[in-house]
């Protein structure tokens, strides 16, 4: 093990390398650029590839191509670039191509304030690309979690043949903390499940017990069709409902039946709490301190920290909120996750604490909400 003082963006880069990332394509954008800078130095040292593309649309397209060729691939961006990537996120969902997209959120809309933190891309991460589709979105609260969840993002991507989004914010991306890095052999890495059948039997989108068909890499002797259109089990476009409907059901089912694996939360004192704070990312740090202050005043307060943003942690929230009289949801936006909390727990229970000006939600703001001030 190695103990290092590092930045959140550096932790993402090291997590990607530890997970087996060997291809990065991206375009510089504040506040994610350090990820590209580090991987541009480190990937060539281990036989990986780094390429700076002309824009974010091309960046994700290159990652998709590299993934089809057999390389674990990643790109990183911020809000404006994330907007440009939505078309290809949808393409990767439709074609079931693994890749990791890191969004280090900054204040928006549009150019906004590039060096200010935000959590304004939560709903965009879920619904930014058009159509009904599942998506996995993870959000670290610390620099150490940035390393761990980057590895998780790659593992989920390969396990479920899907793009995975790591939704950071500028504060976590640029802060520095002491992190204990595991030895390489201690990192749990998921490798792609390749087919064992002859090329003439291979069905790239066939039904399997896991709902995740094996994926063969281009260049390994398995030729198949890839398209953004609805397709049959061989990848060819189709309009037949008996082929379209099973695909839609399988792609959603492969995520929904594995929620216990995918949905990760941290719970602190939620069992008998009268008030629950639901938070994520940098705001969860303020929430943790606010909960500590409230407990010093003898309030029964619990914290539900969402490490998985999407799929939403409905079961954990229902369990935590069952006996609670109040749920406080602090966010660096105008209430995006609060909408989900209200849907699950009921609007009357929820108190929103919002800040969308680039400044953090403070512990005092959360404490005031807990105490009804």
Specify the 3-state DSSP secondary structure of 285.
helix
The whole-angstrom distance between residue 190's C-alpha and the CA centroid of its chain comes to 17
Q: What is the pLDDT of residue 83?
A: 97
Q: Are 221 and 195 in contact (CB under 8 A)?
A: no
- Classify domain 2-186 by CATH number: 3.40.50.970
Looking at residue 225, what is its pLDDT? Answer: 94
Q: Which pLDDT score, from 0 to 100, does residue 150 have?
A: 98
Q: Please, are residues 248 and 132 in contact by the beta-carbon 8 Å criterion?
A: yes
pTM of the model: 0.96
Q: What is the pLDDT of residues 28-82, one digit of tens each?
A: 999 999 999 999 999 999 999 999 999 999 999 999 999 999 999 999 999 999 9
d(CA 41, CA 95) in angstroms, rounded, equals 31
Before 236, cis peptide (omega within 30)?
Answer: no
Question: How confident is the model at residue 282, as a pLDDT?
Answer: 97
Read off the pLDDT band of 1 (50, 70, 90): confident
Domain ranges of the chain: 2-186, 266-370
Question: How far is Cα 58 from Cα 20, in angstroms, rounded to an integer?
Answer: 22
Question: What is the chain's alpha carbon radius of gyration, rounded to the nearest angstrom?
Answer: 21
What average pLDDT does the segment 330-334 reach? 98
| Beta pairing, strands 265-268 & 301-306 | antiparallel
Top CATH class, 266-370: alpha beta
Decide whether 2-186 matches 266-370 in CATH topology: yes
Residue 156: the pLDDT is 98
87's enclosing H/E stretch is: helix 79-95
Look at residue 196 in the predicted model and tell me its pLDDT: 87
Whether the Cβ atoms of residue 95 and residue 226 lie closer than 8 Å to each other: yes
Instruction: Classify residue 216 by its DSSP letter.
Output: P
């Amino acid at each position: 093990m190695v103990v290092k003082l590092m930045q959140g963006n550096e932790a993402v880069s090291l997590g990607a390398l530890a997970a087996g990332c060997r291809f990065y394509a991206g375009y510089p954008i504040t506040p994610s650029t350090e990820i590209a800078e580090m991987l541009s130095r480190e990937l060539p040292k281990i036989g990986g590839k780094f390429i700076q593309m002309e824009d974010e649309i091309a960046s994700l397209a290159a990652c998709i191509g590299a993934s089809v060729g057999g390389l674990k691939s990643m790109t990183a961006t911020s809000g404006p670039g994330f907007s440009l990537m939505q078309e290809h996120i949808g393409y990767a969902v439709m074609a079931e191509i693994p890749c990791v997209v890191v969004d280090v959120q900054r204040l928006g809309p549009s150019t906004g304030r590039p060096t200010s933190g935000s959590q304004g891309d939560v709903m965009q991460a879920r619904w930014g690309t058009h159509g009904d589709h599942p998506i996995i979105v993870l959000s670290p609260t610390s620099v150490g979690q940035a390393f761990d969840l980057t590895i998780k993002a790659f593992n989920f991507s390969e396990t479920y043949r899907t793009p995975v989004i790591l939704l950071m914010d500028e504060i976590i991306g640029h802060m520095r903390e002491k992190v204990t890095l595991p030895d390489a052999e201690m990192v749990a890495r998921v490798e792609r499940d390749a087919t064992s059948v002859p090329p003439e039997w291979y069905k790239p989108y066939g039904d399997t017990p896991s709902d995740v068909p094996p994926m063969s890499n281009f260049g390994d002797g398995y030729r198949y069709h890839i398209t953004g259109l609805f397709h049959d089990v061989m990848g060819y476009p189709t309009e037949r409902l008996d082929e379209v409907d099973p695909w839609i059901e399988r792609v959603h089912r492969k995520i929904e039946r594995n929620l216990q694996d995918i949905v990760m939360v941290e719970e602190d004192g939620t069992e008998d709490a009268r008030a629950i704070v639901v938070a994520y990312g940098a705001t969860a740090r303020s929430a943790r301190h606010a909960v500590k202050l409230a407990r010093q005043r003898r309030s029964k307060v619990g914290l539900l920290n969402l490490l998985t943003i999407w799929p939403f942690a409905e079961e954990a929230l229902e369990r935590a909120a069952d006996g609670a009289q109040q749920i406080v949801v602090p966010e660096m936006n105008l209430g995006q996750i609060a909408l989900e909390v209200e849907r699950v727990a009921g609007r009357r229970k929820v108190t929103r604490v919002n800040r969308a000006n680039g400044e953090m939600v403070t512990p005092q703001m959360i404490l005031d909400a807990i105490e009804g001030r």
